[in-house]
C-alpha cells in the first residue's frame, strides 16, 4: 500500500518524427498511449498487482506538442474503490534546451486491479500522510469535478 505521493510517476518522451501527425506535432493517440502506460504504473504501484484500463473519464487536449519537444507525463493515484484506482494524468510540453513547460493535456483514468486469473481483486485504500498527499488529492478531485 502506497501513499498518494508514492504513486506519483513522471516520464519523459522526446517527440520524434514517427510520433507526429501531418502537422508535425505529437499524434494524440501516441500521447494517450504514453499516458495510459504511466497511469497504469501509478495504479500498480499502489495495488501491488497488475492493473488494466477500465475507463477514461475525460481527456482534454489544450495545445499540441511540437516535434522535437519533450512530452512529460505526470501521474498519480488519488482515490480507490473496491477494485478500482482513479489516477490523474497530465501531459506537458517541455522545451529541451530551456526546460520550460506548459501543460497540454489533462485526464482522469480508472484502472481495475486484477489477479493472476485476470479477475478483479480488491485494492487497499490510499493513504494520505502529508500535505503533498492532500494537495495532490484535492487538485485531482477539483479538476475532476470541473471537467
Pairing of strands 70-80, 84-94: antiparallel
**pLDDT at residue 1 tops 80:** no
CATH topology of domain 5-142: Thiol Ester Dehydrase; Chain A (3.10.129)
Read off the pTM.
0.94
Pure H helices in the chain: 28-47, 131-146
Tell me the domain boundaries of the chain. Answer: 5-142
Confidence of residue 93 (pLDDT cuts 50, 70, 90): very high
Please give the Cα distance from 9 to 38 (Å, whole number): 7
Tens of pLDDT along 38-87?
A: 999 999 999 999 999 999 998 999 999 999 999 999 999 999 999 999 99
Confidence of residue 147 (pLDDT cuts 50, 70, 90): low
Amino acid at each position: 500500500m502506497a501513499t498518494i505521493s508514492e504513486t506519483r510517476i513522471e516520464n519523459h518522451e522526446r517527440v520524434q518524427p514517427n510520433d507526429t501527425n501531418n502537422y508535425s506535432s505529437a499524434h494524440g493517440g501516441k500521447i494517450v498511449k504514453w499516458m495510459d502506460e504511466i497511469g497504469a504504473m501509478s495504479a500498480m504501484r499502489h495495488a501491488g498487482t497488475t492493473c488494466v484500463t477500465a475507463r477514461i473519464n475525460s481527456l482534454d487536449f489544450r495545445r499540441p506538442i511540437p516535434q522535437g519537444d519533450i512530452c512529460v507525463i505526470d501521474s498519480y493515484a488519488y482515490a480507490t474503490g473496491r477494485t478500482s484506482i482513479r489516477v490523474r494524468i497530465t501531459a506537458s510540453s517541455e522545451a529541451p534546451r530551456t526546460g520550460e513547460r506548459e501543460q497540454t493535456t489533462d485526464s482522469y483514468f480508472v484502472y481495475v486491479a486484477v489477479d493472476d486469473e485476470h479477475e478483479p481483486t480488491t485494492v487497499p485504500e490510499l493513504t494520505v500522510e502529508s500535505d503533498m498527499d492532500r494537495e495532490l488529492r484535492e487538485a485531482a478531485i477539483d479538476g475532476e469535478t470541473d471537467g
